[in-house]
A and B are shown apart, each in its own frame.
Chain A
Amino acid sequence: MSVTQLLFWFLSVLALAGALMVVTSKNLIYSVLYLIITFFAISGHYILLNAQFLAIVNLIVYAGAIMVLFLFVIMLMNLNSDVEPQKKKWLKVAGALAGGCLFLVMVAALKDADYKNQVAQTREGDIGLIGNLGMTLFNDYVVPFEISSVLFLSAMVGAVVLGKKE
């Protein structure tokens, strides 16, 4: 087992375990923290795939900004861990069952994809480097890039509209 494989397995287990903990943990703060762990693991995957730019952005945007925002809101609301009322048992079971079935169905559907033998390049390939991505982004993808500004504008206006005290 090579280092790459080792890392892959480690990061995968870490991400999945973190994700599971997000779902199962009772405490809201713990959930956030587990989610951050998951994001770190995913960033690790990105690095493994030699997508450094995305790895960094993932850390900054997700683990940094977004999760901090979450924490911030949670703190602001001063939510206690045991405030959350539990769903009815059968609904939980049904939910888990449905999710599990979805997993099984998707795996069953995709298991005989003819890309079986394809390999995702790890530790090499320079497309994930910042220079490369930057060139493409500001050449070919400049229109979507600009348009995404509209998205931010509307999000900003929206946050103001909703947040402003009247």
Chain B
Amino acid sequence: MNNIIQLVWLVPLFPLIGFLINGLGRKNLPKSLISIVGCGTILASFIVCVLIFNEVRKGNTQTVRLFDFISYDKINIPFAFLVDQLSSLFLLIITGVGFLIHVYSTAYMHDEETEHFGRYFAYLNLFIFSMLLLVLGSNYLIMFIGWEGVGLCSYLLIGYWFKNDEYNNAANKAFIMNRIGDLAFLIALFWIISKLGSLTYSDVFIKADTLSKADLIVITLLLFVGATGKSAQIPLYTWLPDAMAGPTPVSALIHAATMVTAGIYMIARSNILYTLAPVTQTVIAVIGLATAILAATIALKQNDIKKVLAYSTVSQLGYMFLGLGVGAYTGAVFHVMTHAFFKALLFLGAGSVIHAIHNVQDIRFMGGLRKYMPVTHITFLLGCLAIAGIPPFSGFFSKDEILMGAYSVNPVYFTIGVIGALMTAFYMFRLYATTFLGKFRGTPEQEHHLHESPAAITIPLIVLAVLAVVGGFAGIPALFMEGGHSLGAFLAPVFAGSEKIKTSHHLSHQVEWILLIISVVVALVGVIAAYIRYSKKPDLQDASGLGKLLENKWYVDQVYDALLVRPSQALGKILGTIVERSGVDWIVNGVGRSIQYGSRQVRLLQSGQVGNYILLMVASILIFFALQFFFKK
């Protein structure tokens, strides 16, 4: 095996095979076999990914060209994979976390009928395949294929329980909102083609500085709009909370760990373009920050365990975009990684809880689960600490790096970011406290059935908890340890181009220390406040005032409904009934009607009386004479 990278096509191939086997054999294969195929293929991919990662660490990056995909005129878009630091890192995250979640799923989904069990794993494998395409593609088009593919899988998995129309609506919403973003993404691609004649990253990035300012801004903004769709940012974020309709492992994998970070991957990948377009960067930073705050406020008042986590995801994604917006690409990617660990952990933990109390998701009917589910409790707590940014858990390092970067660009970003971090700590520990502390508030029957989850569930939890705890050490800031940021060093070649252009001023150590302490203190305040407020007496009464506003998610869904959905439906109805029927078609039929009417009138000339006929003839003769003699020059 002289060059494992050339075999990179194996990585997406395994999940594809798994998809085909499970998809076609879902009726005939036993569950055990389906599980083995589902998990095994991902494991195989993971192993290959690890090998590739090793190779890449040696500095070996390659483009693997498979076949010509679309080529016309002078433009050639090959089906090719790019293996470099960034993609190999993502490969690891995807296959690694993916594998754990597959394992988890075998237990979580065990109650499903075989056929649907098989379908579930087929979808999941297809998702991994698409996600791998997304990160592996050596050009924007392959990325787009994966981009849409993961959207499709997300749609399929959100609507997995397709008998429930609410879930189907959520699935549709997710797909359509993604499509809006995808459209922008696609137009950006066309723009790139028409300006640069290629979609391959290397070509585009090399020629990027030949683009005019306006072109750069348009392209980057359009790409960013695509990212807002996929990564749930303002204004296209509302699908993500609804997407919690899917099975919890799906939420963990797709809507927390991997798919939603595709936007970050894409922007990190195109970092040069963004660095060249500071206007867009500002937009991204502002939107990211706004999303982070908005989602955090909503999360404060949610009672559905998964909804809280979903808004927290949106909020965290906002932080990542803030990082991208301020040029802290490494930080953003770092946060993607850590977030993948702890958010997957949290979701899986939530899933474990839901599994234990039979599909109850409202935290008001939980409480005191600490006793019954120790492993879940501990791991969930670790996850909460990580996301809250308590050192030395992983979230602390990555979030801190982003906030540092934000401060270096604009202290206001930092300030708002810290407020968001406060809220994050608060709502996470509100969630933790209401769920695990206090007394159980559900029915006695539920209480009777409460138990710790099986090993297939707890083992992934433990693994992820470990990762969530230690994951941050991949990027220890220079403040603590010179050269401790091994991730930054690893990714440096990817962002080298941007670093050259960027005119960032490094913060002094003192400032860094101060900022660090501020954020830690704020996080602790949030944790403690939430603990005090909710550990004993969770709030069960309905909210009012601002609380109600938050509970109803700022009424954003309703506003969208009133401003976009309803008008377009009404417009469709008007067009379909009024314009189409009594407008266009009426005119078309009107031609026919007027001919019939004319027929009825003209035939009256044929009065049946010879005298009239001859009179008319003589009149015509007169006219002809006049025409021929008097109206000719």
Contact = CB atoms under 8 A, between A and B. Distances in A.
Does a CB–CB distance below 8 Å link A and B in the complex?
yes
Interface of A: 87, 91, 94-95, 98-99, 101-102, 105-106, 108-109
Interface in B203-217: none
A99 B618 contact: yes
Nearest to A91: B611
Contact of A98 (B619, B626, B630): B619
A91 B612 CA distance: 8
A102 B622 CA distance: 6
Q: Which 4 A-B pairs have the closest CB atoms?
A: A98-B618, A105-B625, A109-B629, A101-B622
Interface of B, secondary structure class, is helix
Interface of B: 611-612, 615, 618-619, 621-622, 625-626, 629-630
Contacts of B615: 91, 94-95, 98
A102 B618 contact: yes
Nearest to B628: A109
A98 B625 CA distance: 13
A87 B609 CA distance: 11
B623 to A, nearest CB: 10
B620 to A, nearest CB: 10
B270 to A, nearest CB: 86
Chain A contact surface mostly: helix
11 contacts: A87-B611, A91-B611, A91-B612, A91-B615, A94-B615, A99-B618, A101-B622, A105-B622, A105-B626, A106-B625, A109-B625
A19 B279 CA distance: 102
A96 to B, nearest CB: 11
B419 to A, nearest CB: 96
A98 B622 contact: yes
Contacts of B625: 102, 105-106, 109
Contacts of A91: 611-612, 615
Nearest to B625: A105
A89 B424 CA distance: 102
A106 B624 CA distance: 11
Nearest to A88: B611
Nearest to A87: B611
Nearest to A106: B625
Contacts of A109: 625, 629
Given A91-B615, A109-B629, 10 more contacts: A87-B611, A91-B612, A95-B611, A95-B615, A98-B622, A105-B622, A106-B625, A108-B629, A108-B630, A109-B625
Most interface-central of A87, A102, A105 (chain B CB within 10 A): A105
B74 to A, nearest CB: 74
A106 B629 CA distance: 10
A127 B630 CA distance: 38
Contacts of B611: 87, 91, 95
Contacts of B629: 105, 108-109
